[in-house]
Amino acid sequence: MVGGFASYVAILDYIIGAAMWTLIGRFGMAIFVSENSDFFFMRAFVKVTDPMIKAMSRLTPSFLIDRLRPLYVAWFLFMIRFYIMPALLGYDVMGMLSFPLESEIAIVIYDLGQIFN
């Protein structure tokens, strides 16, 4: 059990959650840096997220501009995490911190805050 969730639920959520947040990171970074930049982090974001964006190309509307595609795919992964996974795997989602990945991160941040106070 990880944070009150079965291990397989947490592992699956961590993978999809990390992919979702990486796509959001790529979108955010693309606001300030060109996608074909030599900046290491942008190249890493593009290299990691391009396969996901290409895999979702059939479900992505054609009118969407290229810069919004990572955000759309991240939204799609969020919908999977919020609606499909709880229905299939049998756990409740009552808010953002109900997700295994985000709840673990929130606990770590809270613990760090307790150490420095």
- For residue 5, the 8-state DSSP code is B
Give the residue-averaged pLDDT of 63-67: 92
Task: Determine the Cα–Cα distance for residues 67 and 70; give it in Å rounded to an integer.
Answer: 7
pLDDT computed for residue 16 by the predictor? 93
The burial class, CB within 10 Å (0-12 / 13-18 / 19+), for 62 is exposed
pTM for the complete prediction? 0.80
Give the residue-averaged pLDDT of 49-76: 94
Amino acid at 65: I
pLDDT per residue as tens digits for the range 68-82: 999 999 999 998 888
75 φ, ψ (degrees, to nearest 5)? -60, -40
